[in-house]
Structure 1
């Protein structure tokens, strides 16, 4: 089994937070272990250390940013954009990247050209 597969297997072992909901210390240990497993997966996939968030273990590389951005654009192109459902999730995703990698988001509008304004008097 390759290193990435082993890291994914380890992440699955920590993926049930309900097991620990009655024990806050065990829950914190579980979250820490999950973050460590994410870091191991990033390393196994060849993500440079400077692009791995040490607190969460997430890949914060430019390639991942572009992938997330493209995913939002595809979603809106295919399904439209719901102010009620999509707006809070979009703002959370964009805000997360803006706080961690402002050099990527500065002046970038993920939805430019794909989000068409609603005609006046209508809502999604």
Structure 2
């Protein structure tokens, strides 16, 4: 059974676990399909730059909508989804990113190789600023790298 998916479908209430799973599978198939179209478009694009820009923008918008549908079908609250990209911007993601940056910093110190520590701090702060620009309420004022 191939389920067609629109963003409106993803916003509709899901009454059963089977409906949720079917919607999630359909949304995942849509993301894969659009991703494949984007790769094909990138590899074989021809036409005027305005035409190419319009096609690329349309595919990117479709991909963002499909990502949002996957997140909705997975049970993510709408306020945790960035409408422009369809990506998850939840407290869980915020804390996970902060922990990941701190691990990178700790590894760099313990091995004395890899990133320049000042550069690592700057990149982590930029990533933090980008995240809180989307979800300012999640910022607890803690730097992503301590040390």
Q: Quick check: 2:81–2:89 contact (8 Å CA) kept in 1? A: yes
Give the deviation of 1:17 after TM superposition. 4.9
Give the Cα separation in 2 of the matches to 1:17 and 1:91.
31
Gaps of 5+ in 1: 116-124
RMSD, aligned α-carbons:
2.6
Give the deviation of 1:18 after TM superposition. 6.2
Per the alignment, residue 18 of structure 2 pairs with none
Spell out structure 1 runs of 4+ moving beyond 6 A.
Answer: none
Give the Cα separation in 1 of the matches to 2:105 and 2:54.
41
Give the Cα separation in 1 of the matches to 2:145 and 2:121.
11
Give the Cα separation in 2 of the matches to 1:87 and 1:41.
33
Give the Cα separation in 1 of the matches to 2:79 and 2:132.
17
Higher helix share: 2
Gaps of 5+ in 2: 1-20, 47-51, 110-114
Give the Cα separation in 2 of the matches to 1:56 and 1:83.
30
> Number of residue pairs matched?
113
Corresponding residue to 2:145 among 100, 103, 111? 111
TM-score computed with the length of structure 1 as normaliser = 0.72
TM-score computed with the length of structure 2 as normaliser = 0.63
Per the alignment, residue 8 of structure 1 pairs with 28
Give the Cα separation in 2 of the matches to 1:68 and 1:8.
24
Confirm or deny that 1:95 pairs with 2:95: no
Confirm or deny that 1:31 pairs with 2:51: no
Per the alignment, residue 42 of structure 1 pairs with 71
Give the deviation of 1:83 after TM superposition. 4.8
Q: Quick check: 1:17–1:30 contact (8 Å CA) kept in 2? A: no
